[in-house]
Amino acid sequence: MKQYIILIAGLLLTITCACSKDEEDSSSNTTTLSDEYYSGGKLGTVFNETTMAYEQPTPAVENNGMMVSFKRGEALFEKVFVTDTLSGIPRSGLGPVFIRSSCVACHPGYGHGRRVTTFNSNEQGNSYLLCIFHDDGTYYSQFTGMPQTRAVAPYIPPIDESGITINWLPYTDEYGNKYPDGESYSLIYPEVKIAQSAILFNDVDINNDFNVAIEATIGIYGTGLLDAIDDADLIAEASAQQARGYCVGQLGNMITDPDGTTHPGRYTYGLTRGTLQNGPGANAIWNITNVNRDDRRSLYITAAWAQKMEELGIDSYANLMRNDYEPEMTRSDYDDFMIWHRGLAVPAARNLDNAQVQRGRTLFYEMGCTACHKPSWTTGADNYKGDPNLQKELPRYPYQKIYPYTDLLKHDLDMKNPGLRKWCRTTPLWGRGLSLKCTGASDHLHDMRARNYEEAILWHFGQAKPSREKFRNLSKSDRTAVVKFLEAI
């Protein structure tokens, strides 16, 4: 299941092209198509389209003898953390308050979460994080940026999740949700509420300046490849978009990492993380579980919550707010986790030489989708930065041509009820066609409101509306071809 697929594809195409009248053009297409199978480049692609496609190590991991660490890191991701603190217990230190007890709970099959209708954080695959924010987008000081709904007794979480409701409401566009050819489509979006009684703090009034939304996780495969893109290239892409004057993306804020280096944000929907080594995963394994490590020896809580615990006689404010907790995860374990994280391969593209897929590819370009879903990047030297405490080498991906289909910039899709962020990072599209197979679901967008590719495209308003219009005006067979292309990459 490896490189031979590429050769077969390449050869088939060569044969096809040899029968064509335009041999020169076809020959150049052959080269391009063959490259595109390597979504994660030669060092970052795995030829595997089984249900385990998102879980595989990159060739860089295997080539550099990192498999033992990779497997250890994998276990930290997949298995639950427990609250016990007895020395030697694997994956211990959960709590006192937490969001989930395992990483995989929010990344089923290592992919995106799925759309759910009730907020039960115990339900694996419900990857929603709550966002509680003022009208101006800032967080309430009483809650952490990712508010907790679980706690280890006798502690009490700031929010009782039984008081959270998610309503999925219908949305109708100006065309009455109909294509010009008469076919209908349906769109839904979430409205999230928290009952006043579910909030631990008396001074939070849900009737006053109180907004709540949900954001789902995204897939984690290939994030190491994205880290290998040079900051300068990312900044250059943002400048080029400024210059072109349409679909102008916003560069993420500059973020200074623990090693003192500064980088434009490239991870999370809001582009709030600049490197993988100080990225969402490095953060999440601490703040989702509240498991301390040597460089994060405080709890992910707010002063307001600590104060409340003191008022209730559960713990002292001073104890909870300490920043000298003993590490619960060892340095060696954490480094293995990061080797695994940076070592997850991207599944190779599939079926690109299929005529329908090729038609979809042509349309994808013609409709202007590539303005934001930038097909390819070439990584830099990949002298990764961010964390001065790592003691083990991480896998590297220098000078790889990769096909993530994202510009790593924020755009405004002007959606109904967008949630915390009106401007949102362009989601990488690579590998998403395997989502149903790998995760059991194939929902899309930041809150999983789109139940399939078609709905995802139809939620592209704002900057992307011209592309949406072009898609709407395609014939049914061409619309299907676009989806087939998306499934193939």
Partner 1 sequence: MKISKLTIKNLFMTATLIFTVAACSNDEEDNNEISSDDLKPTLQQYVSAVVVKTYNLLANEALELSERCKTLQQQATQENVQAAAQKWIDARKYWEESEAFLYGPATSYSIDPHIDSWPLDQNQLQQLLANTVTMSQMSADYAGKYLGYGLLGFHALEYVLFRNGQARNVNEIPALELVYAAAVAEDLARQCVRLEAAWAGIANISNDKQQILEDCELEPDINYGEVFVNAGKSGNTVFRTQKAAITQILMGCSDIADEVANTKITDPVASGNVLDVESWYSWNSITDFADNIRGIDYAYNGERVENANILSVSSYLSKINPSLDGKIREAIKTAIREIENMPAPFRDHLTEAETNAAKTACQQLQELLDEAMDEINN
Interacting residue ranges for partner 1, rule: CB under 8 A: 1-5, 7-9, 11-12, 15-16, 46, 48-52, 56, 62, 67-68, 71-72, 74-75, 79-85, 88-91, 94, 101-102, 104-105, 108-109, 120, 122-125, 150, 152-154, 350-351, 353-356, 436-437, 439-441, 487
Q: Are strands 211-215 and 254-256 parallel, antiparallel or unpaired?
A: unpaired
Alpha-carbon 140 to chain mean position: 24
Concatenated DSSP letters of 260-281 = S-EEE--BTTTT-B--STTSHH
Report the residue number, 82 or 321, with the smaller CB distance to partner 1.
Answer: 82
Residues in the chain: 489
Which CB sits closer to partner 1, 276 or 429? 429
Closest to partner 1 by CB, 153 vs 243, is 153
Neighbouring residues of 145: CB distance < 8 A, sequence distance ≥ 6: 139
The CA distance from 271 to 285, in Å, is 19
Q: How far apart are CA 309 and CA 68, in angstroms?
A: 42
Dist CA 164 CA 208 (whole Å): 17
Q: Minimum Å distance from CB 97 to partner 1?
A: 13
Residue 7 vs 232, nearer CB to partner 1: 7
Least distance between partner 1 and beta carbon 235 (Å): 37
- DSSP string over 303-349: HHHHHHHHHTTSS-HHHHT-S-PPPSS-HHHHHHHHHHHHTBPEEPP
Residue 112 C-beta: closest distance to partner 1, Å:
13
Shortest separation between residue 167's beta carbon and partner 1, angstroms: 20
Query: What's the closest the beta carbon of residue 88 comes to partner 1, in angstroms?
Result: 5
At its nearest, how many Å lie between partner 1 and the CB of residue 92?
8
Using only C-alpha atoms, the chain has a radius of gyration, in whole angstroms, of: 23
Q: Which is nearer to partner 1, 210 or 325 (CB)?
A: 325
Choose between 99 and 132: whose C-beta lies nearer to partner 1.
99
| Whether 346 contacts 431, CB under 8 Å | yes
